[in-house]
Structure 1
Amino acid sequence: MTLTEFDDEGFRPLFDGSTLAGWHTAPRIYGDLYPGGPAVLDMLAAQGARRPVEPEKHPAVWTVEDGAIVGRQDAPGSGYGGYLVSDESYGDFELVVEAKPDWPADTGVMIRRRRNTWEGFQVLVDHRESGGIGGFFGNGLASFSAVPFAVRGRRDASGEILGLEADDPSTSLEPVTPEKIARLRYAADVNDFLRVWKWADWNEIRIRAIGALPVITTWVNGLKIAEVDTATLDSPDYDAARVLDALGDRGHIALEVHDSDLGIGGERWGHGAACRWRNIRIKTL
Protein backbone atom coordinates (compact mmCIF):
# COMPACT_ATOMS: atom_id res chain seq x y z
CA MET A 1 0.00 0.00 0.00
CA THR A 2 1.08 3.57 -0.63
CA LEU A 3 1.21 6.19 2.13
CA THR A 4 -2.13 7.59 0.96
CA GLU A 5 -4.11 4.32 0.75
CA PHE A 6 -6.43 3.11 3.52
CA ASP A 7 -7.14 -0.51 4.46
CA ASP A 8 -10.56 -1.93 5.35
CA GLU A 9 -10.18 -0.84 8.99
CA GLY A 10 -9.36 2.76 8.10
CA PHE A 11 -5.61 2.55 8.69
CA ARG A 12 -3.05 3.98 6.29
CA PRO A 13 0.70 3.25 6.27
CA LEU A 14 3.24 5.63 7.77
CA PHE A 15 6.11 3.61 6.29
CA ASP A 16 6.28 2.53 2.66
CA GLY A 17 8.59 -0.42 3.39
CA SER A 18 11.54 0.83 1.38
CA THR A 19 12.31 4.50 2.14
CA LEU A 20 12.10 7.02 4.97
CA ALA A 21 9.61 9.13 3.05
CA GLY A 22 7.35 10.99 5.47
CA TRP A 23 9.96 11.01 8.25
CA HIS A 24 12.90 13.17 9.31
CA THR A 25 15.72 12.63 11.80
CA ALA A 26 16.19 14.67 14.97
CA PRO A 27 19.04 14.54 17.50
CA ARG A 28 18.46 13.90 21.18
CA ILE A 29 18.68 17.47 22.44
CA TYR A 30 17.38 18.22 25.92
CA GLY A 31 15.12 21.15 26.76
CA ASP A 32 13.44 22.06 30.04
CA LEU A 33 12.74 19.44 32.66
CA TYR A 34 9.09 20.50 32.57
CA PRO A 35 7.21 23.44 31.00
CA GLY A 36 8.44 26.56 32.76
CA GLY A 37 11.03 24.57 34.69
CA PRO A 38 14.84 24.46 34.70
CA ALA A 39 16.85 23.34 31.70
CA VAL A 40 17.96 19.71 31.91
CA LEU A 41 21.55 20.55 30.92
CA ASP A 42 21.77 23.24 33.60
CA MET A 43 20.53 20.72 36.13
CA LEU A 44 23.16 18.21 35.00
CA ALA A 45 25.87 20.86 35.23
CA ALA A 46 24.79 21.72 38.77
CA GLN A 47 25.14 18.04 39.66
CA GLY A 48 28.62 17.92 38.15
CA ALA A 49 27.53 15.51 35.42
CA ARG A 50 29.26 15.46 32.05
CA ARG A 51 27.23 17.23 29.36
CA PRO A 52 26.90 15.65 25.88
CA VAL A 53 29.25 17.25 23.33
CA GLU A 54 27.46 18.62 20.25
CA PRO A 55 24.61 16.07 20.30
CA GLU A 56 22.94 18.01 17.47
CA LYS A 57 25.58 16.54 15.14
CA HIS A 58 24.64 12.96 16.02
CA PRO A 59 20.90 12.28 15.38
CA ALA A 60 21.36 8.48 15.42
CA VAL A 61 21.56 6.47 12.20
CA TRP A 62 18.30 5.46 10.55
CA THR A 63 18.19 3.06 7.61
CA VAL A 64 15.73 0.77 5.85
CA GLU A 65 16.78 -2.88 5.83
CA ASP A 66 14.74 -5.89 4.72
CA GLY A 67 11.51 -3.92 4.80
CA ALA A 68 12.04 -2.44 8.26
CA ILE A 69 13.19 0.88 9.69
CA VAL A 70 16.37 0.30 11.70
CA GLY A 71 17.74 2.74 14.28
CA ARG A 72 21.27 2.65 15.72
CA GLN A 73 23.45 4.96 17.75
CA ASP A 74 25.77 7.31 15.86
CA ALA A 75 28.34 5.75 15.81
CA PRO A 76 27.88 2.32 17.42
CA GLY A 77 28.95 2.62 21.02
CA SER A 78 29.28 6.40 20.83
CA GLY A 79 26.42 6.92 23.24
CA TYR A 80 24.58 9.38 21.00
CA GLY A 81 20.88 8.75 20.48
CA GLY A 82 18.18 10.40 18.42
CA TYR A 83 14.71 10.21 16.90
CA LEU A 84 12.97 9.51 13.63
CA VAL A 85 10.03 11.93 13.56
CA SER A 86 6.92 11.88 11.40
CA ASP A 87 6.58 14.86 9.09
CA GLU A 88 2.85 15.02 9.83
CA SER A 89 1.27 15.74 13.21
CA TYR A 90 -1.76 13.97 14.65
CA GLY A 91 -4.50 14.59 17.21
CA ASP A 92 -6.62 11.59 18.20
CA PHE A 93 -5.45 8.36 16.62
CA GLU A 94 -4.75 4.66 16.88
CA LEU A 95 -1.26 3.62 15.86
CA VAL A 96 -0.06 0.07 15.18
CA VAL A 97 3.61 -0.84 14.80
CA GLU A 98 5.66 -4.01 14.89
CA ALA A 99 8.89 -3.79 16.87
CA LYS A 100 11.94 -6.03 17.14
CA PRO A 101 14.55 -4.50 19.48
CA ASP A 102 17.93 -6.01 20.26
CA TRP A 103 19.00 -6.61 23.86
CA PRO A 104 19.73 -4.23 25.45
CA ALA A 105 17.99 -1.48 23.45
CA ASP A 106 16.08 1.26 25.25
CA THR A 107 13.62 2.51 22.65
CA GLY A 108 10.03 3.66 22.42
CA VAL A 109 7.37 5.56 20.53
CA MET A 110 6.79 9.22 21.26
CA ILE A 111 3.40 10.81 20.61
CA ARG A 112 2.25 14.44 20.67
CA ARG A 113 5.93 15.30 20.26
CA ARG A 114 6.99 18.82 19.35
CA ARG A 115 8.75 19.02 15.98
CA ASN A 116 11.80 20.96 17.09
CA THR A 117 11.97 20.31 20.82
CA TRP A 118 12.01 17.21 22.97
CA GLU A 119 8.67 17.43 24.78
CA GLY A 120 6.10 14.69 24.35
CA PHE A 121 4.56 11.56 25.81
CA GLN A 122 6.55 8.37 25.34
CA VAL A 123 5.29 4.79 25.16
CA LEU A 124 8.17 2.77 26.56
CA VAL A 125 9.80 -0.14 24.78
CA ASP A 126 12.70 -0.41 27.22
CA HIS A 127 14.04 -3.79 26.13
CA ARG A 128 16.76 -3.93 28.78
CA GLU A 129 17.44 -4.74 32.41
CA SER A 130 14.72 -3.19 34.61
CA GLY A 131 12.94 -1.94 31.50
CA GLY A 132 9.28 -1.09 31.18
CA ILE A 133 7.38 -2.10 28.05
CA GLY A 134 4.00 -0.55 27.29
CA GLY A 135 4.13 2.01 30.09
CA PHE A 136 4.66 5.76 29.81
CA PHE A 137 7.25 8.48 30.40
CA GLY A 138 7.05 12.27 30.08
CA ASN A 139 9.89 13.69 28.01
CA GLY A 140 10.19 17.31 29.11
CA LEU A 141 6.99 16.75 31.09
CA ALA A 142 8.53 16.41 34.56
CA SER A 143 9.95 13.00 33.60
CA PHE A 144 6.86 11.29 34.99
CA SER A 145 6.97 7.50 35.03
CA ALA A 146 3.70 5.55 34.84
CA VAL A 147 4.44 1.86 34.38
CA PRO A 148 2.69 -1.39 35.32
CA PHE A 149 5.83 -3.54 35.68
CA ALA A 150 9.47 -3.97 34.71
CA VAL A 151 11.36 -6.86 33.14
CA ARG A 152 14.86 -8.22 33.08
CA GLY A 153 16.76 -10.83 31.09
CA ARG A 154 16.08 -14.48 31.91
CA ARG A 155 19.44 -16.25 31.87
CA ASP A 156 20.59 -19.85 31.75
CA ALA A 157 23.38 -21.24 33.92
CA SER A 158 26.05 -19.81 31.62
CA GLY A 159 24.55 -16.32 31.73
CA GLU A 160 23.09 -16.34 28.23
CA ILE A 161 19.80 -14.46 27.98
CA LEU A 162 16.99 -16.71 26.79
CA GLY A 163 14.05 -14.35 27.18
CA LEU A 164 12.38 -12.04 29.66
CA GLU A 165 11.21 -12.43 33.24
CA ALA A 166 9.82 -10.14 35.92
CA ASP A 167 12.29 -7.67 37.36
CA ASP A 168 13.43 -8.10 40.97
CA PRO A 169 12.70 -4.88 42.90
CA SER A 170 15.49 -5.63 45.38
CA THR A 171 18.15 -5.51 42.65
CA SER A 172 16.39 -3.33 40.07
CA LEU A 173 18.18 -0.52 38.26
CA GLU A 174 14.90 1.41 38.21
CA PRO A 175 12.38 -0.16 40.60
CA VAL A 176 8.68 0.04 39.80
CA THR A 177 7.16 1.72 42.83
CA PRO A 178 3.50 1.73 43.92
CA GLU A 179 3.41 5.41 42.93
CA LYS A 180 4.36 4.62 39.34
CA ILE A 181 1.63 1.99 39.08
CA ALA A 182 -0.94 4.23 40.78
CA ARG A 183 -0.56 6.84 38.00
CA LEU A 184 -2.21 4.38 35.62
CA ARG A 185 -5.93 3.84 35.09
CA TYR A 186 -5.13 0.28 34.03
CA ALA A 187 -2.07 -1.89 34.69
CA ALA A 188 -1.49 -5.37 33.30
CA ASP A 189 0.07 -8.17 35.29
CA VAL A 190 3.67 -8.85 34.30
CA ASN A 191 3.01 -12.60 33.97
CA ASP A 192 0.29 -11.99 31.39
CA PHE A 193 2.74 -9.79 29.46
CA LEU A 194 5.45 -12.46 29.59
CA ARG A 195 3.04 -14.99 28.09
CA VAL A 196 2.46 -12.88 24.97
CA TRP A 197 5.89 -11.27 24.40
CA LYS A 198 7.93 -13.01 21.69
CA TRP A 199 11.66 -13.04 22.39
CA ALA A 200 13.97 -12.22 19.44
CA ASP A 201 10.91 -11.83 17.21
CA TRP A 202 8.43 -9.22 16.04
CA ASN A 203 5.88 -7.90 18.52
CA GLU A 204 2.83 -5.78 17.68
CA ILE A 205 2.38 -2.61 19.73
CA ARG A 206 -0.91 -0.72 19.50
CA ILE A 207 -1.30 2.81 20.88
CA ARG A 208 -4.52 4.79 21.17
CA ALA A 209 -4.55 8.49 22.13
CA ILE A 210 -7.83 10.37 22.63
CA GLY A 211 -8.35 13.89 23.95
CA ALA A 212 -6.58 17.25 24.07
CA LEU A 213 -4.75 15.95 27.14
CA PRO A 214 -4.98 12.39 25.93
CA VAL A 215 -6.02 9.18 27.54
CA ILE A 216 -3.31 6.88 26.18
CA THR A 217 -3.83 3.12 26.01
CA THR A 218 -1.36 0.45 24.93
CA TRP A 219 -1.60 -3.18 23.83
CA VAL A 220 1.16 -5.70 23.09
CA ASN A 221 0.25 -8.60 20.82
CA GLY A 222 -3.41 -7.96 21.60
CA LEU A 223 -2.99 -7.81 25.39
CA LYS A 224 -3.98 -4.53 27.04
CA ILE A 225 -0.93 -3.33 28.96
CA ALA A 226 -1.54 0.13 30.39
CA GLU A 227 -3.74 3.20 30.29
CA VAL A 228 -3.01 6.70 31.59
CA ASP A 229 -5.14 9.83 31.73
CA THR A 230 -2.70 12.70 31.18
CA ALA A 231 -5.36 15.24 32.25
CA THR A 232 -5.51 13.86 35.79
CA LEU A 233 -2.00 12.42 36.13
CA ASP A 234 -0.49 13.08 39.56
CA SER A 235 3.31 13.30 39.56
CA PRO A 236 5.81 15.79 41.03
CA ASP A 237 6.09 19.00 38.92
CA TYR A 238 3.56 17.70 36.38
CA ASP A 239 1.05 20.46 35.59
CA ALA A 240 -1.63 19.37 33.12
CA ALA A 241 -2.54 22.92 32.08
CA ARG A 242 1.08 23.78 31.31
CA VAL A 243 1.52 20.50 29.44
CA LEU A 244 -1.47 21.26 27.22
CA ASP A 245 -0.17 24.78 26.62
CA ALA A 246 3.25 23.38 25.64
CA LEU A 247 2.07 20.50 23.44
CA GLY A 248 -1.29 21.59 22.09
CA ASP A 249 -3.83 18.97 21.08
CA ARG A 250 -1.77 17.33 18.34
CA GLY A 251 1.85 16.43 17.70
CA HIS A 252 4.32 14.26 15.87
CA ILE A 253 5.08 10.56 16.26
CA ALA A 254 8.70 9.60 16.81
CA LEU A 255 10.75 6.42 17.12
CA GLU A 256 13.64 6.52 19.57
CA VAL A 257 17.26 5.44 19.82
CA HIS A 258 18.25 6.23 23.42
CA ASP A 259 21.58 7.74 24.30
CA SER A 260 23.89 6.01 26.79
CA ASP A 261 23.53 8.19 29.88
CA LEU A 262 25.86 8.31 32.83
CA GLY A 263 23.43 6.34 34.95
CA ILE A 264 23.28 2.88 33.38
CA GLY A 265 25.31 3.51 30.19
CA GLY A 266 25.79 0.37 28.13
CA GLU A 267 23.01 -1.39 30.03
CA ARG A 268 20.64 1.04 28.31
CA TRP A 269 21.92 0.56 24.75
CA GLY A 270 24.34 -2.20 23.85
CA HIS A 271 27.31 -1.65 21.57
CA GLY A 272 26.03 -2.08 18.01
CA ALA A 273 22.45 -2.66 19.15
CA ALA A 274 19.51 -1.74 16.91
CA CYS A 275 15.77 -1.29 17.09
CA ARG A 276 13.62 -2.36 14.13
CA TRP A 277 10.14 -1.18 13.12
CA ARG A 278 7.80 -2.32 10.38
CA ASN A 279 4.13 -2.34 9.34
CA ILE A 280 3.62 1.12 10.84
CA ARG A 281 0.07 2.31 10.26
CA ILE A 282 -2.32 4.87 11.70
CA LYS A 283 -6.05 5.60 11.90
CA THR A 284 -7.25 9.06 12.89
CA LEU A 285 -10.18 9.09 15.31
Structure 2
Amino acid sequence: MVFRIFGVVHFVCVGLMLFSGGCKTEVPQGDQAAEKDDGFVALLNGADLTGWEATGKAKWTVEEGQIVGTQGENNAPGDLFTTAAYSDFELITTYRAEWPCNSGVWFRFQSPKKAYQADILDYKKPPAFSGTLYCPGKMFLARNLDKGLENRAGWNTIRIVTQGSKTKIWLNGTQTADVDDDTTDSGKIGFQVHPGAKFGSMKIVIKEIKIKEL
Protein backbone atom coordinates (compact mmCIF):
# COMPACT_ATOMS: atom_id res chain seq x y z
CA MET A 1 0.00 0.00 0.00
CA VAL A 2 1.25 3.45 -0.89
CA PHE A 3 0.16 6.34 1.30
CA ARG A 4 1.09 9.92 0.55
CA ILE A 5 -0.07 13.08 2.26
CA PHE A 6 -0.38 16.39 0.42
CA GLY A 7 -1.91 18.88 2.82
CA VAL A 8 -5.15 17.32 3.92
CA VAL A 9 -5.69 15.11 0.87
CA HIS A 10 -4.83 11.42 1.00
CA PHE A 11 -3.97 9.26 -2.02
CA VAL A 12 -4.17 5.51 -1.39
CA CYS A 13 -3.60 2.60 -3.80
CA VAL A 14 -4.86 -0.85 -2.80
CA GLY A 15 -5.57 -2.50 -6.15
CA LEU A 16 -7.82 0.45 -6.91
CA MET A 17 -7.48 4.21 -6.97
CA LEU A 18 -8.54 6.68 -4.31
CA PHE A 19 -8.53 10.42 -4.75
CA SER A 20 -9.09 11.86 -1.32
CA GLY A 21 -10.31 14.43 -0.37
CA GLY A 22 -21.88 15.76 16.94
CA CYS A 23 -25.07 15.51 17.03
CA LYS A 24 -28.18 13.39 16.89
CA THR A 25 -31.18 15.70 16.91
CA GLU A 26 -33.87 13.09 17.48
CA VAL A 27 -34.15 9.35 17.91
CA PRO A 28 -36.23 7.21 15.52
CA GLN A 29 -39.15 5.59 17.31
CA GLY A 30 -40.07 1.91 17.45
CA ASP A 31 -37.98 -1.23 17.11
CA GLN A 32 -35.26 0.56 15.13
CA ALA A 33 -34.23 2.38 18.32
CA ALA A 34 -33.44 -0.84 20.20
CA GLU A 35 -29.81 -1.03 21.23
CA LYS A 36 -27.80 -4.04 20.07
CA ASP A 37 -25.07 -5.72 22.09
CA ASP A 38 -22.46 -4.42 19.65
CA GLY A 39 -23.57 -0.81 20.14
CA PHE A 40 -25.38 -0.51 16.82
CA VAL A 41 -28.93 0.79 16.50
CA ALA A 42 -31.14 -0.41 13.62
CA LEU A 43 -32.66 2.42 11.57
CA LEU A 44 -35.13 0.13 9.79
CA ASN A 45 -37.97 -1.40 11.80
CA GLY A 46 -39.05 -3.82 9.05
CA ALA A 47 -42.68 -2.68 9.16
CA ASP A 48 -42.92 0.90 7.92
CA LEU A 49 -40.98 4.12 7.32
CA THR A 50 -41.22 5.46 10.86
CA GLY A 51 -38.17 7.67 11.45
CA TRP A 52 -37.82 8.42 7.72
CA GLU A 53 -39.14 11.14 5.40
CA ALA A 54 -39.24 11.28 1.60
CA THR A 55 -38.47 14.22 -0.68
CA GLY A 56 -39.13 14.35 -4.41
CA LYS A 57 -41.48 12.01 -6.29
CA ALA A 58 -39.69 8.67 -6.17
CA LYS A 59 -41.60 5.76 -4.63
CA TRP A 60 -40.44 4.40 -1.27
CA THR A 61 -42.08 1.38 0.33
CA VAL A 62 -41.34 -1.34 2.85
CA GLU A 63 -41.67 -4.82 1.32
CA GLU A 64 -40.89 -8.02 3.19
CA GLY A 65 -39.17 -5.93 5.85
CA GLN A 66 -36.93 -4.10 3.36
CA ILE A 67 -36.89 -0.52 2.06
CA VAL A 68 -37.53 -0.41 -1.70
CA GLY A 69 -36.94 2.68 -3.84
CA THR A 70 -37.96 3.18 -7.49
CA GLN A 71 -38.57 6.15 -9.78
CA GLY A 72 -41.90 7.93 -9.70
CA GLU A 73 -44.05 8.82 -12.69
CA ASN A 74 -42.19 10.15 -15.74
CA ASN A 75 -38.88 8.88 -14.31
CA ALA A 76 -39.14 11.22 -11.33
CA PRO A 77 -36.32 11.13 -8.76
CA GLY A 78 -36.37 11.41 -5.01
CA ASP A 79 -34.60 10.77 -1.74
CA LEU A 80 -35.46 9.13 1.57
CA PHE A 81 -33.89 10.62 4.71
CA THR A 82 -33.81 9.89 8.40
CA THR A 83 -35.69 12.43 10.49
CA ALA A 84 -32.67 12.47 12.81
CA ALA A 85 -29.26 14.01 12.10
CA TYR A 86 -25.95 12.39 13.03
CA SER A 87 -22.37 13.60 13.32
CA ASP A 88 -19.64 11.01 14.06
CA PHE A 89 -20.63 7.40 13.48
CA GLU A 90 -20.11 4.01 11.92
CA LEU A 91 -22.88 3.07 9.49
CA ILE A 92 -23.47 -0.34 7.93
CA THR A 93 -25.90 -0.74 5.03
CA THR A 94 -26.77 -3.97 3.21
CA TYR A 95 -28.31 -3.42 -0.23
CA ARG A 96 -28.96 -4.87 -3.64
CA ALA A 97 -29.77 -3.03 -6.85
CA GLU A 98 -31.42 -3.67 -10.18
CA TRP A 99 -29.32 -2.19 -12.97
CA PRO A 100 -28.73 0.22 -14.59
CA CYS A 101 -28.66 2.05 -11.28
CA ASN A 102 -27.57 5.42 -9.95
CA SER A 103 -28.14 5.58 -6.21
CA GLY A 104 -26.19 5.86 -3.00
CA VAL A 105 -26.12 6.27 0.74
CA TRP A 106 -26.34 9.93 1.75
CA PHE A 107 -24.71 10.88 5.03
CA ARG A 108 -24.12 14.14 6.89
CA PHE A 109 -26.72 15.52 4.49
CA GLN A 110 -27.64 19.15 5.18
CA SER A 111 -28.72 20.25 1.71
CA PRO A 112 -28.28 19.16 -1.93
CA LYS A 113 -25.09 21.23 -1.96
CA LYS A 114 -23.74 20.17 1.43
CA ALA A 115 -23.56 16.42 1.89
CA TYR A 116 -21.63 13.23 1.22
CA GLN A 117 -22.74 10.09 -0.59
CA ALA A 118 -21.32 6.58 -0.77
CA ASP A 119 -22.26 5.91 -4.37
CA ILE A 120 -24.03 2.91 -5.87
CA LEU A 121 -23.38 3.41 -9.57
CA ASP A 122 -21.45 2.61 -12.74
CA TYR A 123 -20.05 5.96 -13.91
CA LYS A 124 -18.21 6.30 -17.21
CA LYS A 125 -16.31 9.61 -17.30
CA PRO A 126 -14.36 9.55 -15.10
CA PRO A 127 -14.69 5.84 -14.29
CA ALA A 128 -16.20 5.22 -10.86
CA PHE A 129 -18.05 2.27 -9.35
CA SER A 130 -20.03 1.57 -6.20
CA GLY A 131 -18.11 2.50 -3.06
CA THR A 132 -17.01 5.82 -4.57
CA LEU A 133 -17.29 8.87 -2.28
CA TYR A 134 -19.21 11.78 -3.82
CA CYS A 135 -19.55 15.36 -2.56
CA PRO A 136 -21.79 17.89 -4.37
CA GLY A 137 -19.69 20.63 -5.93
CA LYS A 138 -16.50 18.61 -5.56
CA MET A 139 -17.62 15.54 -7.53
CA PHE A 140 -15.71 12.40 -6.52
CA LEU A 141 -13.48 12.70 -3.46
CA ALA A 142 -12.47 9.05 -3.82
CA ARG A 143 -13.15 6.69 -6.73
CA ASN A 144 -13.48 2.93 -6.61
CA LEU A 145 -12.05 1.65 -9.90
CA ASP A 146 -12.67 -2.04 -9.21
CA LYS A 147 -16.10 -2.98 -10.59
CA GLY A 148 -15.63 -6.53 -9.34
CA LEU A 149 -15.93 -5.53 -5.68
CA GLU A 150 -19.69 -5.38 -6.06
CA ASN A 151 -22.02 -8.36 -6.39
CA ARG A 152 -24.40 -7.16 -9.10
CA ALA A 153 -26.57 -10.26 -8.68
CA GLY A 154 -27.00 -10.16 -4.91
CA TRP A 155 -26.45 -8.41 -1.61
CA ASN A 156 -23.64 -5.98 -0.83
CA THR A 157 -22.50 -4.20 2.32
CA ILE A 158 -21.29 -0.60 2.50
CA ARG A 159 -19.55 0.41 5.72
CA ILE A 160 -18.97 4.11 6.44
CA VAL A 161 -16.89 5.45 9.32
CA THR A 162 -16.88 9.24 9.63
CA GLN A 163 -15.37 11.14 12.54
CA GLY A 164 -14.38 14.78 12.48
CA SER A 165 -13.12 15.55 8.99
CA LYS A 166 -12.05 11.95 8.31
CA THR A 167 -14.22 9.55 6.31
CA LYS A 168 -13.53 5.95 5.32
CA ILE A 169 -15.67 3.64 3.20
CA TRP A 170 -15.57 -0.12 2.64
CA LEU A 171 -17.50 -2.13 0.05
CA ASN A 172 -17.87 -5.80 0.90
CA GLY A 173 -14.88 -5.60 3.21
CA THR A 174 -12.49 -3.77 0.84
CA GLN A 175 -11.63 -0.15 1.60
CA THR A 176 -12.57 2.22 -1.21
CA ALA A 177 -12.15 5.65 0.39
CA ASP A 178 -9.94 7.37 2.98
CA VAL A 179 -10.59 11.10 2.84
CA ASP A 180 -9.96 14.22 4.91
CA ASP A 181 -12.63 16.81 4.01
CA ASP A 182 -14.68 19.26 6.07
CA THR A 183 -17.60 20.09 3.78
CA THR A 184 -20.14 19.00 6.40
CA ASP A 185 -19.78 17.67 9.95
CA SER A 186 -23.33 16.46 10.62
CA GLY A 187 -26.62 15.78 8.89
CA LYS A 188 -29.16 13.20 7.86
CA ILE A 189 -28.67 9.73 6.42
CA GLY A 190 -30.56 8.70 3.32
CA PHE A 191 -30.90 6.96 -0.03
CA GLN A 192 -31.26 8.31 -3.57
CA VAL A 193 -33.25 7.40 -6.66
CA HIS A 194 -31.76 9.17 -9.70
CA PRO A 195 -33.91 10.72 -12.48
CA GLY A 196 -33.94 9.88 -16.17
CA ALA A 197 -35.26 7.22 -18.54
CA LYS A 198 -31.85 5.53 -18.52
CA PHE A 199 -32.54 4.47 -14.93
CA GLY A 200 -36.24 3.75 -15.41
CA SER A 201 -35.89 0.10 -14.40
CA MET A 202 -33.62 0.71 -11.42
CA LYS A 203 -34.56 -0.48 -7.97
CA ILE A 204 -32.64 -0.02 -4.74
CA VAL A 205 -33.44 -2.43 -1.91
CA ILE A 206 -32.15 -1.94 1.64
CA LYS A 207 -32.18 -5.04 3.82
CA GLU A 208 -30.29 -3.59 6.76
CA ILE A 209 -29.11 -0.20 7.95
CA LYS A 210 -27.63 0.26 11.40
CA ILE A 211 -25.60 2.96 13.10
CA LYS A 212 -23.20 3.28 16.01
CA GLU A 213 -22.45 6.82 17.13
CA LEU A 214 -18.80 7.52 17.96
State yes or no: 1:201 paired with 2:154: yes
Q: Output the TM-score relative to the length of structure 1.
A: 0.60
Structure 2 residue identity aligned to 1:124: D
Structure 2 residue identity aligned to 1:101: A
Mapped to 1, the partners of 2:53 and 2:201 lie a distance apart of 22
SS in 2 for 1:3: helix
SS in 1 for 2:135: strand
Which protein has the bigger helix share? 1
Cα displacement string for residues 223-265 of structure 1 (whole angstroms, at most 9, x for unaligned residues) = 212111114xxxxxxxxxxx4xxx4x311011000112xxxx5
Alpha-carbon contact 2:97-2:152 (below 8 Å) kept? no
Aligned to 2:133: 136
Q: What is the percentage of aligned positions where both structures have the same residue?
A: 30
Mapped to 2, the partners of 1:145 and 1:128 lie a distance apart of 11
Task: Identify if the C-alpha distance between structure 1 residues 128 and 72 changes in structure 2 by more than 3 Å, giving closer, same or farther.
Answer: farther
Aligned to 2:75: 79
Alpha-carbon contact 1:95-1:207 (below 8 Å) kept? yes
Mapped to 2, the partners of 1:225 and 1:21 lie a distance apart of 31
Which protein has the bigger strand share? 2
Alpha-carbon contact 1:204-1:221 (below 8 Å) kept? yes
Aligned to 2:107: 111
Alpha-carbon contact 2:142-2:179 (below 8 Å) kept? no
State yes or no: 1:251 paired with 2:187: yes
Mapped to 1, the partners of 2:80 and 2:113 lie a distance apart of 12
Alpha-carbon contact 1:61-1:73 (below 8 Å) kept? yes
Alpha-carbon contact 2:116-2:133 (below 8 Å) kept? yes
Structure 2 residue identity aligned to 1:73: Q
Aligned to 2:116: 121
Map residues 1-285 of structure 1 onto 2, 5 A cutoff: 2-27=31-56, 58=57, 60-75=58-73, 78-114=74-110, 117-127=112-122, 130-139=127-136, 142-150=137-145, 190=146, 194=148, 196-211=149-164, 214-231=165-182, 243=183, 247=184, 249-260=185-196, 266=198, 269=199, 271-285=200-214
SS in 1 for 2:102: strand
Alpha-carbon contact 1:103-1:127 (below 8 Å) kept? no
Structure 1 residue identity aligned to 2:114: E
Mapped to 1, the partners of 2:122 and 2:205 lie a distance apart of 12
Structure 2 residue identity aligned to 1:68: Q
SS in 1 for 2:38: coil
SS in 1 for 2:76: coil
Task: Calculate the aligned-residue CA RMSD, in Å.
Answer: 2.0
Number of residue pairs aligned between Structure 1 and Structure 2: 183
Cα displacement string for residues 122-153 of structure 1 (whole angstroms, at most 9, x for unaligned residues) = 111114665421111112xx242123334xxx
Larger Rg: 1
SS in 2 for 1:148: strand
- Aligned structure 1 segments of 4 or more residues deviating by more than 4 angstroms: 127-131
Task: Identify if the C-alpha distance between structure 1 residues 24 and 16 changes in structure 2 by more than 3 Å, giving closer, same or farther.
Answer: same
Task: Identify if the C-alpha distance between structure 1 residues 117 and 198 changes in structure 2 by more than 3 Å, giving closer, same or farther.
Answer: closer
SS in 2 for 1:105: coil
Q: Output the TM-score relative to the length of structure 2.
A: 0.78
Cα displacement string for residues 253-285 of structure 1 (whole angstroms, at most 9, x for unaligned residues) = 11000112xxxx51xx1x232111121100000
Mapped to 1, the partners of 2:150 and 2:133 lie a distance apart of 18
